[in-house]
Structure 1
Amino acid sequence: MTALDPLTDPSAALAADLARVVGGEVRFDPAHRAMWSADASNYRKVPIGVVSPRDDADVEAALAVCREHQVPVLPRGAGTSIAGQAVNTAVILDFTRHMNAILSIDPDARSARVQPGVICDQLRDAAAPHGLTFGPDPSTHNRCTIGGMVGNNACGSHSVAWGKTVDNTESLELLTYRGSRLDTAAPTGEIPEKLAALHDRIGSRVAEAFPDLTRRVSGYNLDQLGGPGGPGALAKAIVGSEGTLGVITAATMRLVESPPARALAVLGFESAYVAADNVMVVREHSPLTIEGMDAGLIAALRAQNPVETMSRALPPGGGWLYVETGGADRAEARASAAAIAKAMRPYGLTEAVVEDDPARMKALWRIREDGAGILTRSPDGGEAWPGWEDAAVPPEKFGSYLREFDRVLERHGRRGVYYGHFGDGCLHVRIDFDLLSDKGIANFRAFMEDAADAVVAHGGSLSGEHGDGRARSELLPRMYPPDIIAAFEEFKGIFDPDDRCNPGCIVRSARMDEDLRIFVGMPTMHDDPQLAFTHDRGSFTRATRRCLGVGKCVTSHGGVMCPSYRATGEERHSTRGRARLLFEMANGEVVTGGWQDDDVAEALDLCLSCKGCKTDCPVGVDMAAYKTEFLANRYKNKLRPRSHYSMGALPRWMRLVGKLPASAVGLLNALARVTPLAALAKRAGGIAPERSIPEIAPETFTTTARIRALGAAPGAVPDRRAGPRAPGSRGRLLLWPDTFTNHFDPAIAEDAVAVLEHLGYAVELPPRTVCCGLTWTSTGQVSAARRVLRRSLRTLEPWLTAGVPVVGLEPSCTAALRADAGELLPDEPLVEALDVRTFAELLADHLDELPAGPPTTALVQLHCHQHADLGSDADGAVLAALGVEAEILDSGCCGLAGNFGFEKGHYDVSMAAAERVLLPAVRAAAPDVEVLADGFSCRTQLRQAGTREPVHLATLAARAVRGTPADG
């Protein structure tokens, strides 16, 4: 990271003073300031620096230094705030790295004392063995922190049953900017006395002026000062203060009983309006959740992620309610959900689906939880933004408000798709604001003002969940009278008379149309990308603002992204961190090195190009493509890293090896096992010394197939085994002989041919070597990748023009042909003619013809590129037909990821990714459990880790066809 120059940077002295007294990390370099300049909102404010306190003493020491230098501070959690309260020109106190311990759990008192960096799910998991949970559960529950939830008064989908964070807070421990300590469980000193006097003076006015609804999250909680909770009332008054009063160092939170079992009723309605009109009927049944979605959300999901299938489980309709129920067991929970579905028949219900399987419920919930990201981009690259994100009205008025809100959208020429907490009258929406022009920003302001008036007219709150921040603080006078606004300012002043805690939020607000991220961060670099960026209208800089900061990549488990973040815990190794660095690189204000910037290069170096983010990120950020673009520009007309010449051009080297006799290949393999020679070769090729060089097959599949094909029709692979159908009766197939299968695992291709011919296909091969160009693409050698792919397409032209399907065995190559070819050659007609299918997709058309082998159990390591671009439904169906009971591991990337795990300096991260789930699961599996890994990288990682030999789906299928056991 770039060091500060004390002679030229005025913050250098501040950074030095902080580093002397703080035990945690103190980072004032451009990269960290860039990464913390945005949250999940529309706003951008470059911080002074970032400090990660290790304990209370660090917080106290940091505040003392900031006081001495008279600079503002901003405590921050996961940075998923949508209203902009997590960005400021301040010293950010980042609580995601340390101060994340659960200090105690008291099951009898149903409470837990935690540090501010504890993640919501971390607390819920710790409470679960006691039959308890933490009630508030925002859609970001697997990464948002308790400190951030307290700051924003977060709610989540279960607020109908368990309320907001304020309803679940018992006491808080706070440090003010001036260094005063306040424990609300035993409050003493000047602050409680002044607050009591404030309440005595304005309590009656607060009761009159505050709207009566469960989802009021705008303004300070002055209504709590005189609440019935005794000392807890002071803690509740602090909740939702957005870091403007001080720094929370510990919190005691209420826990609630968690039903042993849950069920989900998904209710379909003609429209979201009808769903909203009838939430009060559902509330009468006291469910845990009443969530709503509009048809636009489902349309956006299907357009963004064509391989997803869960949305097909929704009942017909144009609007849906998710209603969750609890019970002592699944039967009781299901009965409650079914009763609600039955009760809703007279109220516009079209159809209902009741589900009690936890895995299917989780998949259905993912649709709703990913809504914020899904709606941010349309398939053609159109952009939508938060801003008017989560207003709330009394639920009995929700249908009326929804219709009025749509009229406001129409008046301002805007479009928005919504979802939200319908049972609490809270609406989430992403709107296609134009935030790139002065005219568009004027329209944004006018819309926000009219929308505020509409929600206030319905007795609602500007915010029903995410707080005021920079987006709505300026609008508070439209919701509250002047004397209440003055009381807010007095309340803030009691805690923070210097106005140094997150200034500009709630009181003395910043203008809502200032500091808009994409307007103040306009790109200055030339935008003529190497890749097509078809989903971003041909613009790399447009792609860099795709990330909105929802932070799904900064999670500890589940899904594929982001393996490097999970290994290091560093923001710069997350998809979000890298996207922000690229955004700031394009802008050039903070990250000034352009394509040659070393901070950006360092962050991207540990990107595995696994493409997990392409599917797992709700916004569809494709960091693998961004890395390719960066490398292509960084090394244009320059000497490249050695690994780019060795592994980046691997197909070229293997083509040369393929011309050698088997004896010569055997000698190469033997030499690769000789330690001094292998070390020399690895050093020359930029390969990690810890890695073994994979063994090359003595003969390639294509060589042996063509020898056998002498005398047969050109390109044909002759039938070698009798099948139930005549050879070729099903038509022609072209098998894609990828480099990895052809040169390292040719037996897999032999097995695939056996199965395909058993089904009656005429399997043919290209007349010469073909390649998808993946290794050149992943190393940023885009021009070479284009040449390789174009040459291959020309070779395949007779088959493509004849409409012959192309079947791939290696997931990364198959995905490259299906998804990446258009990015390399967007104007190539033969790309459009490609009908690329996975082996499983082909077999899935013939499930009733596949012979079931003996009952087999398999652990499945799904290749990342298959997860991103191909899907795995067909694989599951084929395995079931073959009699294989398959468990698809939620292990994420295996860690090898093509050339990544072989490159020098990547070994530790590569193995850390594998050791998270994959390798422990394989070691723990019984000896007769198969390990299925279609990807060559995955198989290589397993082999080099010393586990059992993995198999390909083609091999399992061939065993069934031949009737041979695994050791046959």
Structure 2
Amino acid sequence: MTTASMKPEQDNREVVDALKRAGLEVRADAGTRGMYASDASLYRVPPLAVVRPRHVDEVAATLAVARQTGLPLTSRGAGTSTAGNAVGPGIVLDFSRHLNRVLAVDPEARTAVVEPGVVHAVLQRAAIAHGVRFGPDPSTHARCTIGGMIGNNACGSRSLAYGRTSDNVAGLELLTAAGDRLTTGYTTGRAATGKPTWSGADAVIENVRNVMATHLATARTELDRFGRQVSGYAAQYLLPERFDLTRALVGSEGTLGVITQATVNLIVDTPVRMMVVLGFPDIVAAGEAAPAVVAHRPTSCEGLDSRLLDVLRARRGTAATPSLPMGRAWLFVEVAGEDQDEVFARAQALARSGIADDAAVVTDPATQARLWRVREDGAGLAGRSPADSPAWPGWEDAAVPPERLGAYLARFDELVASHTMTSVPYGHFADGCVHVRLDFPLNRPDGTTVLREFLTDAARLVGEFGGSLSGEHGDGRARSELLPYMYSADAISLFAGVKHAFDPTNLLNPGVLVDPDPVDANIRLSGTFPLSRLAMAYPHDDGDLGQAVHRCSGVGKCRADNSAAGGVMCPSYLASREEKDSTRGRARVLQEVVRGELPWSHPSVRDAMDLCLSCKGCASDCPTGIDMATYKSEVLHQTYRRRLRPRSHYTLGRLPFWARLAGRTPRLANAAVRLPVIGRLLLWLAGVDKRRSVPAFARRPFHRTFTPARHGSQTDLKPVVLFADSFSDAFSPEVAEATVRVLHAAGYEPRLASRPVCCGLTWITTGQLDTARKILRRTVGTLAADARARVPIIGIEPSCIAVLRSDIHELLPDHPDGAIVAGAVTTLAEFLTSTPGWSPPDLTGVEVIAQPHCHHHAVLGWRTDADLLAKTGATVRTLAGCCGLAGNFGVELGHYEVSVAVAEQNLLPALDAAPDAVVLADGFSCRTQVADLRDRPSVHLAQLLDR
């Protein structure tokens, strides 16, 4: 079954009814099927239904329905497969929603019992609490599931020390396609010393033995030739002298059984880690050097190309790029051990060994973490090719014997160039495993033909080097058809026999490994087309929303707890744990829109976008550069253009207009909102949740009280323009007043623009983009003369500054003064730190909790503010994550619970833990959330510096 069309929902009714009668949690709406149609691969195969089992009996019940209806069944964890292992045309079993627990940790036996949907990082936290950990650590460790790792036999960057997943599984419980329960393990619980055992599914075992009896020579000679040969089935473990079902089933990609529980081995981690970075003239030299590095007994040896660093600099600026030794390629080597001096000596010996042209030993854990993050984000960063085109998986993790890696890399670069493409190679070089994304021309009519031709040539090249099409991610839909280029016909026949022994009706994950679908079938990018009459310019995607939303490659970083790592993305997912509330889930739904499968106004599109806070966290935290806030504005614009809008769009979405009107009679406006009956009615009419308190309008708006003379006027003061945004003007004039005093003390004379200005933020977030464009054009026209005269424009509200620095390019791409104004606008921290002779006040002894505004984090960057605060001497705790209010989002009806749940992730616990600390929040939304949920004052940076 290779078709990837979206069947009408009524066609699924019989299947859905059967699943519901079995008491299962079923999702079969168009949005869910669109979200689960793709993983992190090139493929799009919409399922008929998604089941989220709550216990093992529900897995068995789902299998029973699959057998009755003849529908195939695909197991899925986090959906981060790059080979298309986690998509299927029938029923998809999502283990990540409910069957995601660590059931037991035994530190004495060094084992843990887990459900298949448990996230790797969750297992690690549970194990580390007992002084042990799970060995394999793939770069997706913050979101990948143990079940998915078992399915693909994942390895990770420290496989030199800890091996593959198959080396770390002590036993499995699974259901066969026929519904039989099969349990595997070892007599002592550990593969290294125990004898393999199993129970159940006796007929299956007998059939497997019969298959192996006819292919003994092939299994003994063609399989298990080097460490990263994971393509095909691990049938070497089914040989009579080894018969080890646990290891044979690891890496079978969900085609032989449905795993319901696993017992994994744990290790005691080495306490001392140091990093050695080795620089080389090119990636070939780095590959050639990797075997020599292994002689120094590292736990990890990862290769990176300068092409990856170039993408990082383009995405995040040079400040985000760690300092590296000289070269155009590097090996990141980790040396670990028990003794600090011994480990340091080994690191020094490696650095001085002459293996590399330049080297550096990194002992600081924070710097090590920054370097490893570059490697972890490799798949996302490589989503943009050196030619600045979209780059895709497809030839993601081929491996060759390590001693042949350098020669393979040279030939591979030649092969890529011969197909007129570019690539960014990186990977586990000590193991001979190379990750790469390629800019396949999938937007061309012959794009899939080019894909097939390249994959075929690449498979031949790997076969020539005695390598494996897959080194850790599995064959999936991307490489299964190509297995004959590395295996004989008898080996292919062996794989087919093993599959038939376990799954004679081809029920489990069909199209993968045996009887595979063509590598160029069901490509998700085929059929996309540029939408006309778009409101945003999408300058980084050639004006094509299709290209923009397909930036999401499915790596799933939005499903991780990014706030724990200092990020923002994706606050609503952290609150709900629903795929539709992740950046990836929303992108997948929008991919259905650009394909023409769903209209803008479809309920699934509305549901996916509803809980997006427009925080822009993904714009900086997603390694592929997704900007869901911009896409949401486009969706709202297209959905409600020339139509009746939600009432909050007319009130909260036009707040600056109403605020200026209320500013004429602020006491009357405040009194009306606080009247018991009238106030509740006004809130309901405005679309505001009644549990929200409404910030009071200032008695005197800032623009009506400000005159330069009031703050003193000296002829030697330099002029600056103060961008008095609507929030500071109407609600927080004290912030604007403090900003003026701080600027004046720094030697500057602030003045307001020649007429009132607004960035149009509230119109943008509610999708009223025609009006937003007019407002922004008027503002640019007002500020242009000062910007051209190089007069700095100082902003107060981070979200408004972000509009003038970022959204201005989306809404006014052709305005002659747009870029000039964007370049003149600056934050207070940026301006002050660049002012010669200025120094911050001494705040020694002051405890500060800093809640950066999301747009500040994502668009402007918080580093300058952090450095400034450090110079004050204050004790500062900078919070990660979103406050949860996010402009109009947390105020609107239907969003209160999610808004509070987001605040409970980081903000509220920090406030409760430090009741006497000064709360620093530049964003008006953040200050409002703090006041609303904890009745606590907070200050802007200007007020903190004005103390």
- TM-score band, normalised by shorter chain: over 0.9
Asked if the contact 1:334–1:354 (Cα under 8 Å) also holds between the matched residues in 2, the reply is no
Deviation per residue, 1:131-164 (Å, 9 max, x gap): 2111111111111111111111111111111111
Q: Which residue of 2 aligns with 1:723?
A: none
SS of 1:257's equivalent? Answer: coil
Q: What is the CA–CA distance in structure 2 between the aligned matches of 1:448 and 1:474, rounded to whole Å? A: 10
Q: What is the CA–CA distance in structure 2 between the aligned matches of 1:282 and 1:673, rounded to whole Å? A: 71
Q: Which residue of 2 aligns with 1:177?
A: 177
Asked if the contact 2:466–2:486 (Cα under 8 Å) also holds between the matched residues in 1, the reply is no
Structure 1 position 675, deviation (Å)? 2.9
Asked if the contact 1:99–1:116 (Cα under 8 Å) also holds between the matched residues in 2, the reply is yes
Decide whether aligned partners of structure 1 residues 651 and 269 sit closer, same or farther in structure 2, where only a CA change above 3 A counts.
same
CA-atom RMSD, angstroms? 2.0
**2:674 is aligned with 1:673:** yes
Deviation per residue, 1:53-97 (Å, 9 max, x gap): 111100111111111111110011111100111112120011011
SS of 2:420's equivalent? Answer: coil
Structure 1 position 361, deviation (Å)? 2.5
**2:199 is aligned with 1:187:** yes
Q: Which of 281, 286, 291 is residue 275 of structure 1 equivalent to?
A: 286
Gaps of 5+ in 2: 1-5, 186-197
Q: Which residue of 1 aligns with 2:755?
A: 768
Q: What is the CA–CA distance in structure 2 between the aligned matches of 1:897 and 1:228, rounded to whole Å? A: 62
Q: Which residue of 1 aligns with 2:191?
A: none
Q: What is the CA–CA distance in structure 2 between the aligned matches of 1:199 and 1:847, rounded to whole Å? A: 78
Please identify, of 832-841 and 557-566, the stretch whose mean Cα deviation from structure 2 is larger. 557-566
Structure 1 position 767, deviation (Å)? 2.5
SS of 1:553's equivalent? Answer: helix
Q: Which residue of 1 aligns with 2:332?
A: 322
Structure 2 counterparts to residues 52-67 of structure 1, below 5 A: 52-67=52-67
Q: Which residue of 1 aligns with 2:639?
A: 634
Deviation per residue, 1:232-255 (Å, 9 max, x gap): x21110111111112000011111
Structure 1 position 331, deviation (Å)? 6.2
Decide whether aligned partners of structure 1 residues 753 and 329 sit closer, same or farther in structure 2, where only a CA change above 3 A counts.
farther
Q: What is the CA–CA distance in structure 1 between the aligned matches of 2:439 and 2:232, rounded to whole Å? A: 27
The amino acid across from 1:123 in the alignment is L
Q: Which residue of 2 aligns with 1:837?
A: 826
The amino acid across from 1:679 in the alignment is R
**2:682 is aligned with 1:698:** no
The amino acid across from 1:829 in the alignment is P
Structure 1 position 381, deviation (Å)? 6.2
Q: What is the CA–CA distance in structure 1 between the aligned matches of 2:8 and 2:838, rounded to whole Å? A: 76
Percent identity between matched residues is: 47
Q: What is the CA–CA distance in structure 2 between the aligned matches of 1:331 and 1:567, rounded to whole Å? A: 45
Structure 2 counterparts to residues 411-450 of structure 1, below 5 A: 411-450=418-457
Structure 2 counterparts to residues 637-652 of structure 1, below 5 A: 637-652=642-657
Asked if the contact 1:224–1:236 (Cα under 8 Å) also holds between the matched residues in 2, the reply is yes
> Aligned residue pairs: how many?
923
Q: What is the CA–CA distance in structure 2 between the aligned matches of 1:401 and 1:298, rounded to whole Å? A: 22
Structure 1 position 112, deviation (Å)? 1.0
Structure 1 position 579, deviation (Å)? 0.8
Q: What is the CA–CA distance in structure 2 between the aligned matches of 1:341 and 1:719, rounded to whole Å? A: 60
Q: Which of 343, 364, 371 is residue 378 of structure 2 equivalent to?
A: 371
Please identify, of 313-322 and 647-656, the stretch whose mean Cα deviation from structure 2 is larger. 313-322
**2:495 is aligned with 1:488:** yes
The amino acid across from 1:761 in the alignment is Y
Q: Which of 212, 217, 220 is residue 225 of structure 2 equivalent to?
A: 212
Decide whether aligned partners of structure 1 residues 335 and 737 sit closer, same or farther in structure 2, where only a CA change above 3 A counts.
farther
Deviation per residue, 1:918-962 (Å, 9 max, x gap): 1111110151x2221111111110010125311111112122xxx
Q: Which residue of 1 aligns with 2:571?
A: 563
Q: Which residue of 2 aligns with 1:713?
A: none
Asked if the contact 1:262–1:356 (Cα under 8 Å) also holds between the matched residues in 2, the reply is no
Decide whether aligned partners of structure 1 residues 680 and 415 sit closer, same or farther in structure 2, where only a CA change above 3 A counts.
same
The amino acid across from 2:237 in the alignment is Q
Deviation per residue, 1:360-413 (Å, 9 max, x gap): 322222211111111213599621111111101111211111111111112211
Q: Which of 710, 715, 724 is residue 737 of structure 1 equivalent to?
A: 724
Q: What is the CA–CA distance in structure 1 between the aligned matches of 2:338 and 2:367, rounded to whole Å? A: 19
Q: Which residue of 1 aligns with 2:580?
A: 572
Structure 1 position 686, deviation (Å)? 0.7
> Normalising to structure 1: TM-score of the pair?
0.92
Q: Which residue of 1 aligns with 2:351?
A: 341
SS of 1:340's equivalent? Answer: helix
Decide whether aligned partners of structure 1 residues 728 and 213 sit closer, same or farther in structure 2, where only a CA change above 3 A counts.
farther
Q: Which residue of 1 aligns with 2:534?
A: 529
Q: Which residue of 2 aligns with 1:747?
A: 734
Q: What is the CA–CA distance in structure 2 between the aligned matches of 1:475 and 1:782, rounded to whole Å? A: 48
Q: What is the CA–CA distance in structure 2 between the aligned matches of 1:7 and 1:895, rounded to whole Å? A: 36
The amino acid across from 1:922 in the alignment is L
Structure 2 counterparts to residues 504-543 of structure 1, below 5 A: 504-519=511-526, 521-523=527-529, 526-543=531-548
Q: What is the CA–CA distance in structure 2 between the aligned matches of 1:580 and 1:33, rounded to whole Å? A: 10
SS of 1:912's equivalent? Answer: helix
Structure 2 counterparts to residues 129-208 of structure 1, below 5 A: 129-185=129-185, 186-188=198-200, 189-208=202-221
Q: What is the CA–CA distance in structure 2 between the aligned matches of 1:535 and 1:830, rounded to whole Å? A: 19
Structure 1 position 226, deviation (Å)? 3.6
Structure 1 position 201, deviation (Å)? 3.9
Decide whether aligned partners of structure 1 residues 153 and 423 sit closer, same or farther in structure 2, where only a CA change above 3 A counts.
same
Deviation per residue, 1:276-304 (Å, 9 max, x gap): 11112221121111111100111111112
> Normalising to structure 2: TM-score of the pair?
0.94
Structure 1 position 333, deviation (Å)? 4.8
Q: Which residue of 1 aligns with 2:92?
A: 92
**2:268 is aligned with 1:257:** yes
Decide whether aligned partners of structure 1 residues 8 and 814 sit closer, same or farther in structure 2, where only a CA change above 3 A counts.
closer
Decide whether aligned partners of structure 1 residues 829 and 215 sit closer, same or farther in structure 2, where only a CA change above 3 A counts.
same
Q: What is the CA–CA distance in structure 2 between the aligned matches of 1:777 and 1:692, rounded to whole Å? A: 24
SS of 1:150's equivalent? Answer: helix
Q: What is the CA–CA distance in structure 2 between the aligned matches of 1:364 and 1:570, rounded to whole Å? A: 31
The amino acid across from 1:240 in the alignment is G
The amino acid across from 1:223 in the alignment is Q
SS of 1:218's equivalent? Answer: coil
Q: Which residue of 2 aligns with 1:946?
A: 934
The amino acid across from 2:287 in the alignment is A
SS of 1:93's equivalent? Answer: strand
Q: What is the CA–CA distance in structure 2 between the aligned matches of 1:282 and 1:914, rounded to whole Å? A: 47
Q: Which residue of 2 aligns with 1:925?
A: 914
SS of 2:228's equivalent? Answer: coil
Structure 1 position 334, deviation (Å)? 4.7
Asked if the contact 1:22–1:62 (Cα under 8 Å) also holds between the matched residues in 2, the reply is no
SS of 1:939's equivalent? Answer: helix
Asked if the contact 2:719–2:748 (Cα under 8 Å) also holds between the matched residues in 1, the reply is yes
Structure 1 position 546, deviation (Å)? 1.7
**2:621 is aligned with 1:616:** yes
Q: Which residue of 2 aligns with 1:79?
A: 79
Q: What is the CA–CA distance in structure 2 between the aligned matches of 1:727 and 1:6, rounded to whole Å? A: 73
Q: Which of 796, 806, 827 is residue 819 of structure 1 equivalent to?
A: 806
Q: What is the CA–CA distance in structure 2 between the aligned matches of 1:860 and 1:478, rounded to whole Å? A: 57
Please identify, of 490-499 and 192-201, the stretch whose mean Cα deviation from structure 2 is larger. 192-201
Please identify, of 555-564 and 783-792, the stretch whose mean Cα deviation from structure 2 is larger. 555-564
Q: What is the CA–CA distance in structure 2 between the aligned matches of 1:380 and 1:342, rounded to whole Å? A: 36
Deviation per residue, 1:659-689 (Å, 9 max, x gap): x2xxx42343233233322211111111111
Q: What is the CA–CA distance in structure 1 between the aligned matches of 2:410 and 2:652, rounded to whole Å? A: 58
Q: Which of 875, 882, 898 is residue 893 of structure 1 equivalent to?
A: 882
Q: What is the CA–CA distance in structure 2 between the aligned matches of 1:157 and 1:334, rounded to whole Å? A: 21
Q: Which residue of 1 aligns with 2:195?
A: none
Q: Which residue of 2 aligns with 1:311?
A: 321
**2:295 is aligned with 1:284:** yes
Structure 1 position 472, deviation (Å)? 0.4
Q: Which of 538, 546, 551 is residue 551 of structure 2 equivalent to?
A: 546
Decide whether aligned partners of structure 1 residues 418 and 601 sit closer, same or farther in structure 2, where only a CA change above 3 A counts.
same
Q: What is the CA–CA distance in structure 2 between the aligned matches of 1:329 and 1:769, rounded to whole Å? A: 65
Q: Which of 741, 758, 777 is residue 764 of structure 2 equivalent to?
A: 777
SS of 2:298's equivalent? Answer: coil
Deviation per residue, 1:814-873 (Å, 9 max, x gap): 111000111111111111111111111111124863144241221211111011111111
